[in-house]
Amino acid sequence: MGIHRQIALMLAGALAGPVLAADNSAWTNLSALKPGTRIGIIQADMKRVEGHFEGFTESGISLRTDREVTLRKEEVVRVYRRPRASRPIRAVVGAAIGAAGGVILSNTVGTRFRNEGQDVSDAAYIGGGVGIGAAIGAVSGGGYRTVYQR
């Protein structure tokens, strides 16, 4: 076996370990949630309930929607934590960061390229930064995280 294959296998094992080690089947994982955390619950009848976590016991879980809802443990198939910021908000923040990066690039690299005869407009740097930043912001972070799954 070649050295490259051995390195690839070691890296794959090291990266897959934490993913495979995550155990979401323990009801006690709910103790990691703080009261007021935005959560969602998939029930045994596949209905979804979303709201703010109130608390849990060995027999059930409570959350607040427009009213307080308490579900028995047997009714709960999955509990997940909802993202803090929605995808459009993350995209807008990413676009703003990308615009700032585009201005910086335009004033540094753009100036150097213009001095050497490469006439790239400021709008190209800023527009590219906005597009790339919005795309990265939209696809990154904030996903649903499973806390408990039966």
User: 87-126: per-residue pLDDT in tens?
Assistant: 888 889 999 999 999 999 888 888 888 777 777 788 888 8
Q: Structural domain of residue 93, as residue ranges?
A: 87-142
Same-domain check for residues 31 and 77: yes
Last residue of a domain, one of 31, 57, 82: 82
Residue 16 lies in a domain: no
Indicate the residue among 63, 82, 101 that finishes a domain. 82
Given this model, what pLDDT does residue 24 score?
56
Count: domains in the chain = 2
Better pLDDT: 19 or 62: 62
Q: What is the value of pTM for the model shown?
A: 0.56
| Domain termination site, one of 67, 82, 97 | 82
Q: Same structural domain for residues 74 and 119? A: no
- What is the predicted pLDDT for the residue at 143? 72
Mean pLDDT over all residues of the chain? 83
The whole-number pLDDT of residue 60 equals: 93
Whether residue 145 contacts residue 80, with contact meaning beta carbons closer than 8 Å, is answered with yes
